[in-house]
Structure 1
C-alpha cells in the first residue's frame, strides 16, 4: 500500500512543475503587456546585454512560420502543437519506465508547451515574448531571438531530458558489459 502511494507521488508530484511554469509564464506575460507598450523596452541590465521588452511572436521558434496564411498558421501553429502536447501528456502517463527526474523534465516541457499554446489560442496578436539577450554576433546574430518563461522551460527541460536519456543509456550499456 505504501509503495503504491509513493509511486503515485513520484508520478503526480512532477506535474506541479507544469502548473508552476504555466502560472509563472502567464503572470510574467501579463505584467509585460500591462507595463510595457508593444515593441517597447521595459528596462535593461549590464548595458544592453539583458533587456525586458514587449514583442509578439506570430510564428514558432525563431519566428518561423510568421508569414503563413491564416489556415496554415492555424493548422501548424495551433492544432499541430496542441496534438503534440496531447501526445506528450499521453506518453507521460503511459510510460512507466521514466525515471523520477525524467518525469520532472517532461513536466517542465508540458508546462512550457501549454504556456505558449494559451497565447496562441487566446491572444490574437501572438505569443508574448520579452526576454532579450545580446548574442555578440555569434551565428550572425547580434541578439538572440526574444523568448519567454515557457520557451525557457521547454529548452532547459528538453536539454536535461536528453542528457538524462544519454546517461541512462550509458548505464544500461555498462551493466550489460559488466554482466558479460
Structure 2
C-alpha cells in the first residue's frame, strides 16, 4: 500500500514540532529553575541536572571563534543544511518511514539548538550522564533527538536499506 505524501509531511511536521517544543520547554524550565552551573543529582550521581550556556558547538567547539565566523558556522550554515534536509524529505514522499523519522529528529533537534543560538547567543545544556568511567558532555533534548536520528540513519545503512535521498 502506497502512503500519501500528506501523511509523510504530517509525520515530519509532528516530529519536528514535538522535538522543538520539548526542547524549548525543557530549556526554558532549566533557565528559570536551575541555577547556572548547579550540580543536582537526579539518579544518584549517574544523571546530573545542571545549567550551562554553550556559546560554541558540540562540547564547546568554536567558542572562541570571531563573532562573524561563529554566526556563519553556527547559525547560517546549519540553517541552510536544515532547510536542504527538510526540502529533500518533503519532496520525496515514498522514503522509508524510519528514514523520514530519523531526518525529522535531526531537523527538529537542529532547529531547537538554532533557536537558542539566534535568540540567546548560546545553547542551554542541562543533562550529564556519569556511569563509572563513562561520562558524557553536558547535553539537552535537541542533542538527544539529533543523536537518535543519526543512530537510526546508521541502523538503516547497516541493515542495507536503499536510502535514495
TM-score in terms of structure 1 length? 0.82
For the pair 1:83 / 2:75, whether they are aligned, the reply is no
**Aligned-partner Cα distance in 2 for 1:15–1:98:** 15
Matches within 5 A, 1:50-129: 50-124=47-121, 126-129=122-125
Deviation at 1:154, TM superposition (A): 0.2
Distance 1:29-1:48 versus aligned 2 partners, 3 A rule = same
- Say how many residue pairs are matched: 162
Deviation at 1:110, TM superposition (A): 0.8
Q: Deviations over 1:19-43 (max 9, x none)?
A: 00000000000000000122223x3
**Matching residue of 1:132:** 128
Q: Which has the higher contact order (CA 8 A, sep 6+)?
A: 2
- Once superposed, what is the RMSD of the aligned Cα atoms? 2.0
CA contact under 8 A between 1:135 and 1:144: conserved in structure 2?
Answer: no
For the pair 1:149 / 2:165, whether they are aligned, the reply is no
Distance 1:72-1:135 versus aligned 2 partners, 3 A rule = farther
CA contact under 8 A between 1:54 and 1:128: conserved in structure 2?
Answer: yes
Q: Secondary structure at the match of 2:117?
A: helix
Deviation at 1:84, TM superposition (A): 1.1
Deviation at 1:137, TM superposition (A): 3.4
Deviation at 1:12, TM superposition (A): 2.5
**Aligned-partner Cα distance in 1 for 2:93–2:28:** 37
Aligned with 1:27 (options 2, 22, 25): 25
Q: Deviations over 1:105-157 (max 9, x none)?
A: 11111100100000010013x1000011115435xxxx311000000000011
Structure in which a larger fraction of residues adopt helix: 1
**Matching residue of 2:157:** 165
CA contact under 8 A between 2:8 and 2:90: conserved in structure 1?
Answer: no
**Aligned-partner Cα distance in 2 for 1:160–1:3:** 22
Provide structure 2 residue ranges, at least 5 long, that are not aligned to the other structure.
none
Deviation at 1:168, TM superposition (A): 3.5
Q: Secondary structure at the match of 1:13?
A: helix
For the pair 1:17 / 2:9, whether they are aligned, the reply is no
